[in-house]
């Protein structure tokens, strides 16, 4: 349990700065302690119960996390104490006859019944997800590590596999079905089921399929089948070349004087409208290249 850090000298400093006596602090709502107890806290001879710390912070008009900081994430007992409840009152919070269910959960003996979770979360002022995460920590369960996004598919086989998983989550179509769709789009037989399997698995396809790939007819058929642009199946190098070619074509639409000035940086460089056109063109090509964007 990452208990909050309690510094008696800091407590004394803040109390005096608020011009509050030890007796007044002890009488504050929720603190429920006499002057001798506060004096012992400030001297370091004793420490207040953790569930009293929120009331002490309120009495001193200070923030709980600033006055009594804690390192690490809270467990279930920490949440209770931060809400200012002693354990014996938790049975009432969850609508149970006893505080035992909360006590068992805090000690990692038995988890809370599902019906108790929303009630306790509301009482503690946290979400149900935060309450359950704190309960996991009480049971010594570390949170699952963050899962990084898988890398974007780069090879043709990876792209076909990705589209199969995303487009047909309930069952992958047969290679014969894909081949028939590609051939129908091409108007002539350009692939066989075996060739589709080769493309899907990354094994070298037959020579005639390589010719179809070079001509673009196979990629166009695959793009039609999956409902994406043929640009999606092209390599990064091909896309970069197409972007460069497109910008070069765009440049031909302007005057040589405009681009000579831009190259020299003279008179403000490229016209803002021209820059906007180039940015829009690059964004359009990138969007067509990756349907996940």
pLDDT tens figures, 177-218: 999 999 999 898 988 999 888 888 888 877 877 777 777 888
Q: Sorting pLDDT into bands at 50, 70 and 90, what band is 95?
A: very high
Question: Does residue 251 surpass a pLDDT of 80?
Answer: no
Q: Dihedral sign, CA of 151, 153, 157, 161?
A: positive
Query: Does residue 260 contact residue 250 with C-beta atoms inside 8 Å?
Result: no
Q: Which pLDDT score, from 0 to 100, does residue 115 have?
A: 94
Among residues 27, 30, 4, 25, the alpha carbon closest in space to that of 14 is found at: 25
pLDDT at residue 209 in the model: 75
Looking at residue 18, the DSSP 8-state letter turns out to be: T
Lowest mean pLDDT among 7-11, 178-182, 284-288: 284-288
pTM of the model: 0.49
Is 185 buried (19+), middle (13-18) or exposed (0-12) by CB count in 10 A? middle
Instruction: Assign 259 a pLDDT band (cuts: 50, 70, 90).
Output: very low
pLDDT-derived band at 265 (thresholds 50, 70, 90) equals: very low
Element of type H or E holding 276:
helix 272-289
29-52 burial, b for 16+ CB within 10 Å, e for fewer? Answer: eebebeeebbbbbbeeeeebebbb
What's the Cα-to-Cα distance from 286 to each of 24, 118, 243, rounded to whole Å? 67, 46, 9
- pLDDT digits 0-9 by tens, 40-89: 999 999 999 999 999 999 999 988 888 899 888 999 999 999 999 999 99
Residue 101 sits at the vertex; the CA angle it makes with 95 and 103, to the nearest 5 degrees, is 120
């Amino acid at each position: 349990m990452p208990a909050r850090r309690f510094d008696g000298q800091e407590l004394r400093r803040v109390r005096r700065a608020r011009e509050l006596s030890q007796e007044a602090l002890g009488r504050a709502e929720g603190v429920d302690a006499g002057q001798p107890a506060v004096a012992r806290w400030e001297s370091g001879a004793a420490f207040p119960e953790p569930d009293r710390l929120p009331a002490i912070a309120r009495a001193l008009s200070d923030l709980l996390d600033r006055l009594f900081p804690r390192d690490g994430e809270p467990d279930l007992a920490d949440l209770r104490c931060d809400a200012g409840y002693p354990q014996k009152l938790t049975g009432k919070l969850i609508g149970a006859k006893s505080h035992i269910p909360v006590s068992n959960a805090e000690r990692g003996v038995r988890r809370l019944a599902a019906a108790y979770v929303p009630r306790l979360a509301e009482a503690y002022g946290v979400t149900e997800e935060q309450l359950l995460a704190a309960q996991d920590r009480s049971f010594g369960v570390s949170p699952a590590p963050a899962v990084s996004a898988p890398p974007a598919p780069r090879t043709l086989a990876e792209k076909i596999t990705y589209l199969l998983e995303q487009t047909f989550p309930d069952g992958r179509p047969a290679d014969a079905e894909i081949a028939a769709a590609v051939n129908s789009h091409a108007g002539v037989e350009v692939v066989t089921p075996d060739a589709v399997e080769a493309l899907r698995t990354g094994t070298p396809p037959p020579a005639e399929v390589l010719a179809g790939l070079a001509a673009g007819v196979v990629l166009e058929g695959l793009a039609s089948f999956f409902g994406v642009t043929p640009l999606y199946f092209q390599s990064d190098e091909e896309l970069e070349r197409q972007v460069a070619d497109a910008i070069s074509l765009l440049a031909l639409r302007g005057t040589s004087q405009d681009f000579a000035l831009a190259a020299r940086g003279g008179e403000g460089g490229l016209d803002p409208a021209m820059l906007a056109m180039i940015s829009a063109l690059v964004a359009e090509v990138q969007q067509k290249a990756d349907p996940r964007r």
